[in-house]
Amino acid sequence: MIELTPLARPYAKALFASAVETSNLDGMANELKIMAIASKSKEVINTIENPVLSRQEVVDILVKLFDGNITDISKKLLSILAENKRLNLLHPIYSMYQELLEKHKDQNSIEVFVATDPSDDAKESIEAKLRNSYGNDANIYFSKDPKMMGGLSIKVGDETLDLSIRGKVNKLVNQLNF
């Protein structure tokens, strides 16, 4: 699978520069989030990959889908991405933009991987401990990964703390194979 981050970086940087210029950092982040989430749905993927539709028709469909939720800058982004056959970059662009925004605001981004959705109490407890360690303005995201079997894995920047059952089993296998 091709790593999409290098392809998404110039788009994210351009959007970020535009958002700084217009003082719309959080607004652009919200628009990108909406488009990124939608780009993962089967219906949007099928529309983007439909060989019968022209690039302009795909853009028109997407703009109509997001109507009222995105600005002209985001509409222009959709048009440029469609023109360059890069609509599959919406999610990586959002991720890269989020990194730029957090760096700009001096925030930490923390991703917590769990096997199943934690209860509200457990989620609040995890968030409280992470905010205590990394600051109250840390952005904490929960992602579901059933392959973990149980436990959790915490990723902050390029560091990962693996407290999952899968991680413990892998560690045990590595020790046995020395």
Give the residue extent of every domain in the chain. Answer: 5-103, 108-177
Phi and psi at residue 161, to the nearest 5°: -110, 110
CB neighbours (10 Å) of residue 31?
23
pLDDT at 4: 73
C-beta separation of 149 from 168 below 8 A: no
Q: Encode burial over 100-137: b for 16+ CB neighbours within 10 A, e otherwise.
A: bbbeeeebbbbebbbbeebeeeeeeebeeebeeebeee
The pTM of the whole model exceeds 0.75: no
pLDDT at 121: 92
CATH class, range 5-103: mainly alpha
pLDDT at 1: 44
Q: Encode burial over 46-58: b for 16+ CB neighbours within 10 A, e otherwise.
A: ebbeeeeeeeeeb
pLDDT at 134: 81
Q: Report how far residue 164's alpha carbon sits from residue 152's, in angstroms, rounded to the nearest whole number.
A: 5
pLDDT at 144: 87
* Positions of the chain with pLDDT lower than 50, given as ranges: 1
pLDDT at 2: 60
C-beta separation of 97 from 16 below 8 A: yes
pLDDT at 93: 92
